[in-house]
Amino acid sequence: MQQVIFVGGTAYSGSTLADLTIGNDPAGFSCGEVVDFFNPTRPHHVNPICGCGVAQCQTWPSLRVHGEERVYESIFEMHPEVRFIVDSSKDPFWIARQSERLRRQQIPTRHILIWKTPVEIARSYQKRGHARDWQKSWVNYHRVYASLELEWRSVAYSSFVSEPSSLASVCSWLGIDYSTEKARYWEKRHCILGGNHSARVHLHDAESAEFGRSNSILRKDTGHNIALEKHRRVQLEVAANSKDDVAIDDSSPYVRPILRMLSSFDVAGTGRDVGAIREVKMSPTEVHLRRLVSRYRQYTGRRRYPPHYKS
């Protein structure tokens, strides 16, 4: 049976890594952040370089013709061997809208949310020079996600990276095959769009031009690159466990309920904290306003960066 898997998560949450790992299957197809392909808000969203590294790859130019309303159906038609598609667009409103459309087409969907603790996400923002931005983004994202009518489960980034049983639980929830080889996602050719270069850089041989390009972007973004000894060795950063140089505001009324909610929805668990959901959810009016803001940004992005734009 064909299905579409949506990977949710804040910026720098590990969603690209999750997308590539889950999609590392002969029957899988990793899309990456396909929402930005059809709704560009930055120059690099238009005519993006495909993750496969082939300069003249026609996968996405061909899919653009069919538009966002048939993107998944077109992938299934172009690749008859594909049984599941992974979309790590992250945008909760894109996820909800596409899930409803697919439901009407009788195509099943699954939803997995990957998350980092406040300390871990603050460290990720700090590396990119946005140390003050993490909490508002982290809180608002999870509040919106919890407010939508989705059936979902969560997985902690630290577990996903370091515990094989966590990936096995994710695959079980998604209804796809698990094997120990899935974590070596670079062994498959992926036509993934966008995403974090700390995950994408491993797709390319260390001697290739694409490796150098991804590493250059990563160095510009974070001030660091992937050393050759760490190439294709994805691991949790020990430094992310330190509170010494990140600012955590424990007074926020939402941080603790969000943590309870995320923990209780874990794919390996059995219970869900309904009380935490009630504390976290936004009002329907607030969700509606945020949906309008999201659509406005996408609309203005399409006007500023139409499909013929050349970066």
pLDDT digits (tens, 9 = 90+) for 119-177: 899 888 888 777 677 888 999 999 999 999 899 999 999 999 999 999 999 999 999 99
- What's the rounded Cα separation, in Å, for the pair 70 and 74? 6
Torsion of CA 304, 138, 147, 152, to 10 degrees: 100
**CB 11, CB 222: distance < 8 Å:** no
Higher pLDDT, 242 or 117: 117
Q: Of 29, 61, 16, which Cα lies nearest the Cα of 308?
A: 61
Is the pLDDT at 250 greater than 80? The verdict is no
- Name the strand (E) or helix (H) holding 87: strand 84-87
Q: Write b or e for each residue in 198-222: b if 16 or more Cβ atoms lie within 10 A of its Cβ, otherwise e.
A: bbbbbbbeeeeebbebbbebbeeeb
What are the φ and ψ backbone dihedral angles of 105, each rounded to 5 degrees?
-85, 0
Crossing angle of helices 134-147/92-104, nearest 10°?
20
- Residue appearing with tokens 């899919």: 63
- What's the rounded Cα separation, in Å, for the pair 194 and 203? 13
Beta bridge partners of 30: 86
- What's the rounded Cα separation, in Å, for the pair 140 and 98? 21
- What's the rounded Cα separation, in Å, for the pair 81 and 311? 33
Beta bridge partners of 3: 84
pLDDT digits (tens, 9 = 90+) for 4-32: 999 999 999 999 999 999 999 999 999 99
Is the pLDDT at 261 greater than 80? The verdict is yes
pLDDT digits (tens, 9 = 90+) for 204-225: 888 887 887 777 877 777 666 7
Q: From the CB of residue 258, how many other CB atoms can be counted at a distance below 10 Å?
A: 23
The residue type of 47 is N
- What's the rounded Cα separation, in Å, for the pair 278 and 154? 17
Predicted pLDDT at 310? 44
pLDDT digits (tens, 9 = 90+) for 97-127: 999 999 999 999 999 999 999 989 988 888 8
152 burial level (CB within 10 Å; 0-12, 13-18, 19+): middle
Which DSSP letter does residue 135 get? H
In this prediction, residues 183-205 reach a mean pLDDT of: 89
- What's the rounded Cα separation, in Å, for the pair 70 and 64? 9
